[in-house]
Amino acid sequence: MSASHAPAPSLAIFCKVVDNYGDIGICWRLARQLQREHGVAVTLWVDDLASFRRICPQVEAAAASQVVQGVLVRHWRGQDGDHAPGDIADIVIEFFACDIPPRYIEAMAARSPRPAWLNLEGLTAEEWVEGCHKLPSMHPRLKLTKHFFFPGFTARTGGLLREAGLERDRLDFLRHPERVRAFLRGLGLPDAEIDALKVSLFCYPHAPVADLFAAWRDGAERVTCLVPEGVAGHAVAEFLGAAACAGAVATRGALTVRVLPFVPQPDYDCLLWACDLNIVRGEDSWVRAQWAGKPFVWHIYPQDEDLHHKKLRAFLARYAPAIASLQQVMFHWNGVQGDAADWPGLWAALRSDRARIEARSDAWQAAMLANGDLASNLLAFAASLR
């Protein structure tokens, strides 16, 4: 039988939820794409089903095992438990160096043939990634080799997560303005909020949200800020003068802030497409913002000794080396240049550069498309190991 007609492999993904929704967001997108587009039998092991449920309402938070959209979801309750070699998938992925249960690893070693074992790492624009992508790591005791697999922004990395029909769906959505308005009305927005400049806000708690709100409030341009429930809760509640619950809304000056419920992943993509600017965080929403083709501001996951600042600079050096306004907004949003910032001035400069930023977004998308998509690249590499 030729390789092109070989049966699709089975695959297991192990995911520990650290960043609330980012980790499971990435793993869930990958699992669905592998199952839908490549026919892979996917088992997704997740330790926090409650967080998973926020982005996929079909998930039963108390279930030990369930099938969701064609993916077998297993509750990863801990490091104990027995696993037989016959239960081990052809490809085993540990996301971001989470520790797979020891007995599962022993069963991997006892399986014949042994599975392809990949550590799917976090996304970074740093140059060292190209040298580490696909590197092997021998198990110290068992006859097993793990390989590092890095997503990234160049042809010498694994590329970015992207479903085959994503761009088609985005263009179809934007091609029909009434569909966009109907989506926003479904989130509770009246026409006045829809007609304003729309910003989605997804950030970590330490972002200078109150300062940005003040700049928008006192500005001349009407702004509608859409915030998922639980995000920037203190600053949002202060602005609202009430609890930041889904459905809460208030207008002060030129700014309207509306709290949205968490939405399933496909609806989050529509939200990014419908907004004029997206403020995103971590990895999952950051990647989706890049595919949305709209200007975005990234709030990077904080690390000890400000290592995340180096990662931010590395990305901006690739993405926007000549757009100073976007660089300055992201630097101040992430605390690179201290807390004091002239947010009215930063915002005005960013708005004046919107045409350049939009053009750069289009060019960036074309460059990323040329690298292929992460799921297909990952499967091709796993096949090369067998």
Q: What token pair was written down for 177?
A: 């303005």
Please name which of 334, 326, 333, 291 lies closest in space to residue 310, comparing C-alpha atoms: 334
Kind of pairing between the strands at 91-95 and 136-138: unpaired
Query: Rounded to whole angstroms, how far apart are CA atoms 283 and 285?
Result: 6
Quote the DSSP letter at residue 373. Answer: B
Query: Rounded to whole angstroms, how far apart are CA atoms 16 and 20?
Result: 10
What's at 322, amino acid-wise?
A: A
Kind of pairing between the strands at 65-68 and 277-281: unpaired
Q: What token pair was written down for 44?
A: 């997704």
Q: What token pair was written down for 156?
A: 């010498």
99 in catalytic set: no
Residue with tokens 């290592």: 307
Quote the DSSP letter at residue 122. Answer: P
Quote the DSSP letter at residue 199. Answer: E
Phi, psi of 365 (to 5 degrees): -60, -45
| CA dihedral for 201, 68, 161, 42, sign (positive or negative) | positive
Neighbours of 250 (CB within 10 A): 14
- Active-site residue among 23, 211, 353, 373? 23
Provide the terminal-to-terminal Cα distance of the chain, rounded to the nearest Å.
16
283 in catalytic set: yes
Please name which of 380, 381, 379, 386 lies closest in space to residue 41, comparing C-alpha atoms: 379
Provide the 3-class DSSP secondary structure of residue 296. Answer: strand
Neighbours of 141 (CB within 10 A): 9
- Active-site residue among 283, 284, 353, 373? 283
| Residues annotated as part of the active site | 23, 283
